[in-house]
Amino acid sequence: MRANEYDADAYAVDLGYGYELAEWIDSNVIGVPSDPFLKALFSAHPNRHERIAKIQAMSVSYSSYT
């Protein structure tokens, strides 16, 4: 679920790993797969840009252009 992903991300930020998490998401999380089964599984998860935006909103200074 999306809410669980965001809660887990917030927990990582609280532990001080916000930048590292955003960096990992940016470089390792892929887009939505084309396979219908996998696409259905991924539909419950936020995309990487949404997750990184939420992490940045928690005062984490991250930019993929640095």
Q: Convert the pLDDT of each residue in 17-48 to its tens digit.
A: 999 999 999 988 777 788 888 888 777 788 88
Q: Is the pLDDT of residue 62 over 80?
A: yes
pTM reported for the whole predicted model: 0.79
Q: Is the pLDDT of residue 1 over 60?
A: yes
Domain regions of the chain by residue span: 2-57
Q: What would the pLDDT profile of 44-59 be if each residue is shown by its tens digit?
A: 788 889 999 999 999 9
CA distance 38 to 17: 28
CA distance 36 to 11: 31
